[in-house]
Amino acid sequence: MTYQDLLNQMLSGWETYYQQVMNGDFSAVCWKEGHHETYGTYDTHSTDRLKLCSYILYCHKEVPEEILLRLFGEECQNLETNSFQGIGDAIKILTVLLSVSENHYPELFERVKNANFDCHCGYEYETELFRRTRKEIPDFNAEDCLSLAYDTGETEYALQFLEIVKSEYVIKDKSDCRHLIWWNEQLGRTADNEPLLKKSLAFSVKENNEDEIISAHYNLLKFYTEQKKFQEAYQEFEILSAMDLSGWYGVNLFRFILESSLDLINAGIPEANAVWNWAEPHLKRELKNSNGMYGNLYAKAVQASEKMNPGFARKVQKQYDLWKKIKKIS
């Protein structure tokens, strides 16, 4: 199946929204306030409205202008009340559809511009940004489809589009590697990132970029640890521990390396003593400059030192408790 066929299949599943609004029923796509403990106020129907807007645009259905105006108003209310700033694809699509109308709606476009900070900085309906939005399906590439599926919560379609994107993607540099790594992570395919992480390391070695080489080895160390491939993780640790990392003391990258080394100890690998012999003096130095310590590093340091040096563990725990008190963390 081509990505165009897959896109048409996904879009056809959204026709029900179109049928509903054509019959005067906006209940599935009107603004509806919701509240999230972490993310604040949001519109519970924003994803469904994006599905409808995408269906209207890419399936070229004739839609009365009053329907577009109603959807535009619902999207404006979302932008004005959402705790997160942003513009979003739905308002871009509606802007495109209304901007070609014989009527003019400067007051509506001005309302969007003033909806939130991001809109004020990035919404200009006469720019190329919105003209590019009006694509025909044959011009809609596989990654555009992937983004649409991801944004609308169509995970199964997104995974299928991701496989198509991977099969077509030509990796030219570290940026391309990071791009695919990000998509794998978003869609629960983190285990597929090993070859991409290795390619990223190879690019860094070719460029002889010391910072990037250290970062690439750390990324592999973290990846292997999280995937419970502890032998491979230890090999990355050996490479990093043999490097002169003194230039990175006090920098988060070094602390991340230290944290991952503690993960190996806490996982009970056979080489735990060798890892601890490297990690302990670095921990002592970091503890003297406790401003650089953070919760996960403290917690893992306590766990590892309880295994390797219980006397030192009490000192770490005492300092960790003081840190939590200062940070008002229970």
Residue 174's pLDDT band (cuts 50, 70, 90): very high
For the residues 175-195, what does the mean pLDDT come to? 97
Cα 139–Cα 140–Cα 143 angle in degrees, nearest 5 = 135
Q: Note the pLDDT tens digit of each residue in 203-251.
A: 999 999 999 999 999 999 999 999 999 999 999 999 999 999 999 998 9
In this structure, what token pair is assigned to residue 120?
């004020």
- Is the predicted pLDDT of residue 102 greater than 80, yes or no? no
- Is the predicted pLDDT of residue 136 greater than 60, yes or no? no
Residue type at 239 in one-letter notation:
I
- What pLDDT sits at residue 290? 66
- What pLDDT sits at residue 140? 77
Lowest mean pLDDT among 58-62, 73-77, 192-196, 321-325: 58-62
Residue type at 158 in one-letter notation:
A
* Cβ-based burial of 56 (10 A; exposed 0-12, middle 13-18, buried ≥19): buried
**Per-domain boundaries in the chain:** 3-138, 241-330
Residue 289's pLDDT band (cuts 50, 70, 90): confident
- Is the predicted pLDDT of residue 125 greater than 80, yes or no? no
For the residues 310-320, what does the mean pLDDT come to? 94
Residue 127's pLDDT band (cuts 50, 70, 90): low
Contacts of 41 (CB under 8 A, 6+ apart): 33, 34, 35, 81, 82, 83
Residue 157's pLDDT band (cuts 50, 70, 90): very high
- What pLDDT sits at residue 327? 87
